[in-house]
Amino acid sequence: MTTLRPFTCEDMLRFNNVNLDPLTETYGLSFYTQYLAHWPEYFQVVESPSGEIMGYIMGKAEGHGENWHGHVTALTVSPDYRRLGLAATLMNLLEEVSEKKKAYLVDLFVRVSNKVAINMYKNLGYIVYRTVLEYYSGDPDEDAYDMRKACSRDINKQSVIPLSHPVRTEDVD
């Protein structure tokens, strides 16, 4: 049961029930406003009938030539609204926008330990394209999977042939 709408500045005052989740980072204001100003169509929120924010997605389009792609910067759902398929709804939306922008693929990074999320992305058709070593800083640093799904423009699905070896964070653009 969902209202799907663009994220607005004022949502930042109400997204605590989502952001207090330990794996959801609360960024500085300018991070959000920059995304809002640059890629508003990629920044969407799902709201419950009672007006509570259930989750949101932040993304962008970037890259040149055949690397022109949609990127998922953050996808998060409040612990109280999980297992309702909201993440899938938001991912579909991001993929739709990417199709409209004629992207070749959509990609995202996820902690290798975040099994729940990895499985969900796999169910949505994403594959592990490569491992990025020590992408998440912390104690200790953690590796990330770079997961990808091809868009319709990538007819031969060139963008989703997995790399056989991991890469270092510096080598990721």
Partner 1 sequence: MALRSQHVHDGGVVERRLRPVYDWLDNGYNKKALQEAEKVLKKSPSLQAARALKALALYRLGRAQEAGAVLDALVEEKPSDDTTLQAMTMSFRESQQLHKVCTIYENAVKIDTTNEELHSHLFMSYVRVGDFRSQQRAAMAIYKFAPKNPYYFWAVMSIVLQAKETEDTTKRNILLTLAQRMIDNFISENRMEAEQEARLYIMILELQEKWEDIIKFIESPLYGQLIPGSISQACIPYLKKLGRWKKVNILCKELLYDNLDRWDYYMPYFDSVFHLMKENSNEENIDDTAEKCHEFICQLVESMSSGRTLRGPYLARLELWKRLSVEGDPTALLGSALALCVQYLRVFASKPCAVPDLKVYLAMIPQEEREANCRDFLTCLGFDENSEPETMDDIQRHISCLTAWRLTAPRPGTTDALQLAATLRRHYLRSLEKNMIKYSTTEFCSADSYAILAAHHYFYAATEQKSSKPILEALCLLELVLLYSPANYHVKLLLVQLYHLLGNALAADSIYRRLELKHIQLVSLGWLHTARADAACVPTRALQLLADLRAFHTHHAKDSIEHMTYAYKFGTFEKVVELRAWAARLEACALCAVSARRRDLLALLAAPAPPAPPAPLHAAHTDNRDLNIIVNWEPPELQDPDLRSRTFDQDMAYLRLTDALLSSVTLCTELAENKPIEEKMQHYEQLRTCVDTFSEAMEKCTEKYCVYEKITISGPFPSRIIGFVSSPVPYRELYSITLRMIGELSMNNTDKVHELCDQVVAIILISSKLIVQEIRYGAEDNGWSMRDRLESLSNYLQSIGVLTYLLGVCYEMITPTNTKKSKKKANRSVDQMQTIKLIDNINVTLQQAIASLEELMDLWPDYDFSVDLEEELTRMNINPTAPSPVENKLKLGLDKIIEDIQNILKRKTAYLKGLILNTNT
- Residue 41 engages partner 1 in binding (rule: CB under 8 A): yes
* Residue 49 to residue 59: CA distance in whole angstroms: 25
- Residue 72 engages partner 1 in binding (rule: CB under 8 A): no
Instruction: Rank residues 29 and 161 by Cβ distance to partner 1 and give the closer one.
Output: 29
Answer for which of 66, 96, 141, 171 binds partner 1 (CB under 8 A) is: 96
- Residue 170 engages partner 1 in binding (rule: CB under 8 A): no
Please state the φ and ψ torsions of residue 15, each to the nearest 5 degrees.
-90, 15
* Residue 94 to residue 41: CA distance in whole angstroms: 9
- Residue 28 engages partner 1 in binding (rule: CB under 8 A): yes
3-state SS assignment for residue 125: coil
- Residue 1 engages partner 1 in binding (rule: CB under 8 A): yes
- Residue 13, exposed/middle/buried by CB under 10 A (0-12, 13-18, 19+)? exposed
* Residue 125 to residue 96: CA distance in whole angstroms: 14
Q: Binding to partner 1 (CB under 8 A): which residues in 113-132?
A: 114, 116
Q: Interface residues with partner 1 (CB under 8 A)?
A: 1-5, 8-10, 12-14, 16-17, 19-23, 26-30, 33-34, 36-41, 47-50, 52, 54, 79-85, 96-97, 100, 114, 116
